[in-house]
Amino acid sequence: MPQSPTDSPLGRIDLFGRPTALVGGSPVVFPEKAFMLVALLAFAAGRDLDRASARELLWEEVPPARRAGNLRQLLLRLGQLEPGSPVRVTPEGGLRLAEDRWRVDAVALLSGAVAPGAVDGRPLLEGVAAKGDQFEDWLRWASRRANEQRGAALRAALDAAALDPAARLDIAERLLALEPLDETGHRHRLTAHAEAGDLAAARRAWLDCRARLRDELGIEPSPDIQALAARLGLEGAAVPPSASVAALSDAPERGDRLGIPTVIVMPPALLPGNELLDRFGLVLLEEITLGLSQFGSFRVIAAHTSWQLARRAPGSPALGPAPFGEAPRPDYAVTVGIRSSGEPLNASCRLTKLSTGEVLWAVDLEISAANLQASLTDIVRRTVGSLAALIERAEGRLSLAEAGATGYRLYLEGKRSIGATGLEPLRAARKWFRLAVKRCDEFSAALAGLSRTLSMEWLVRGMTDRELLTDALQAAQRAEACDPGSGRALRELGFANLYLRRHDDSLACFAAARARAPNDADLLADYADAVMHDGQPERALELMRAAKALNPLGPDYYRWIEASILYRLEDYDGAVAVLQPIADRPSTARLLAATCAMAGDLTAARGHAARVRENYPAFRVDDVWQIIPDRRPADLRQFAAGLRGAGLD
530 and 506 in contact (C-beta within 8 Å)? yes
- Paired sense of beta strands 358-367 and 345-353, if any: antiparallel
For residue 410, the SS3 value is helix
Tell me: do 263 and 142 sit in the same domain. no
pLDDT digits (tens, 9 = 90+) for 140-149: 878 888 888 8
Q: Decide which of 149, 173, 208 is a domain's last residue.
A: 149
Mean pLDDT: which of 108-112, 179-183, 421-425, 452-456 is highest?
Answer: 452-456
Task: Give the CATH number of the domain where residue 182 resides.
Answer: 1.25.40.10
Are 322 and 338 contacting, i.e. CB atoms less than 8 angstroms apart?
Answer: no
Is residue 255 classed exposed, middle or buried when 0-12, 13-18 and 19+ CB atoms within 10 A define those classes?
exposed
| Distance from the Cα of residue 79 to its chain's centroid | 35
Q: How far apart are CA 169 and CA 356, in angstroms?
A: 18
Say what the pLDDT of residue 135 is. Answer: 83
Are residues 32 and 115 both part of a single domain? yes
Query: 249 and 380 in one domain?
Result: yes
The total number of structural domains in the chain stands at 5
Domain holding 429, by residue range, is 398-518
For residue 8, the model assigns a pLDDT of 55
* Same domain, yes or no: 513 and 637: no
Structural domain contains residue 312: yes
407 and 384: one domain? no
The answer, yes or no, to whether residue 539 has pLDDT greater than 90, is yes
Residue pLDDT, tens place only, 329-346: 688 888 887 766 555 677
The answer to the question of residue 240 being in a domain is no
Q: Is the dihedral of CA 376, 377, 378, 381 positive or negative?
A: positive
Over residues 299-327, mean pLDDT = 53
Specify if 1 maps to a domain.
no
Asked whether residue 502 is assigned to any structural domain, the reply reads yes
Instruction: Tell me the whole-structure pTM to 2 decimals.
Output: 0.51
What proportion of the chain, given as a percentage, has pLDDT over 70?
A: 82
pLDDT digits (tens, 9 = 90+) for 127-142: 887 667 778 878 887 8
Instruction: Supply the CATH number for residue 353's domain.
Output: 3.40.50
The torsion angles phi and psi of 440, rounded to 5 degrees, stand at -145, 105
- Give which of 451, 487, 446, 486 is closest to 469, Cα–Cα: 451
pLDDT of residue 398: 56
For residues 181 and 124, membership in a common domain is answered with: no
- Are 223 and 177 members of one domain? yes
More confident position, 600 or 210:
600
Mark whether 405 and 303 lie in a shared domain: no
Question: What's the DSSP call for residue 62?
Answer: S
Tell me what pLDDT residue 2 has. Answer: 37
Q: Are residues 282 and 383 in the same domain?
A: yes
Look at residues 317, 308, 329 and name the one whose alpha carbon lies nearest to residue 250.
329
Residue 309's pLDDT band (boundaries 50, 70, 90)? low
Q: Flag whether 539 is in a domain.
A: no
Domain termination site, one of 205, 231, 257: 231
Q: Do the Cβ atoms of 312 and 461 come closer than 8 Å?
A: no
The pLDDT tens digits for 176-188 are: 888 887 888 888 9
Give the end of a domain, one of 341, 376, 397.
Answer: 397
- Check whether residue 181 and residue 203 sit in a common domain: yes
| Beta-bridge mates of residue 92 | none
Is the pLDDT assigned to residue 248 strictly greater than 50?
no
Give me the chain's average pLDDT, please. 79
The predicted structure's pLDDT at residue 527 = 94
- Cα 574 to Cα 576: distance, rounded to the nearest angstrom: 5
pLDDT of residue 242: 36
**Do 392 and 294 share a domain, yes or no?**
yes
Same domain, 293 and 195: no
CATH number of the domain where residue 618 is located: 1.25.40
Q: Which residue has the higher pLDDT, 460 or 594?
A: 594
Domain assignment of residue 596, yes or no: yes
41-86 pLDDT, tens digit per residue, is 988 866 678 888 888 888 888 888 888 899 999 999 998 888 889 9
412, 383 contact by CB (below 8 A): no
Query: In 462-536, which ranges are continuous DSSP H helix?
Result: 467-482, 487-499, 503-516, 521-533
Task: Count the neighbouring beta carbons within 10 Å of the beta carbon of residue 57.
Answer: 21
Higher pLDDT, 186 or 256: 186
Which of 446, 348, 434 is closest to 392 using CA atoms? 446
Q: In this structure, is residue 465 part of a structural domain? A: yes
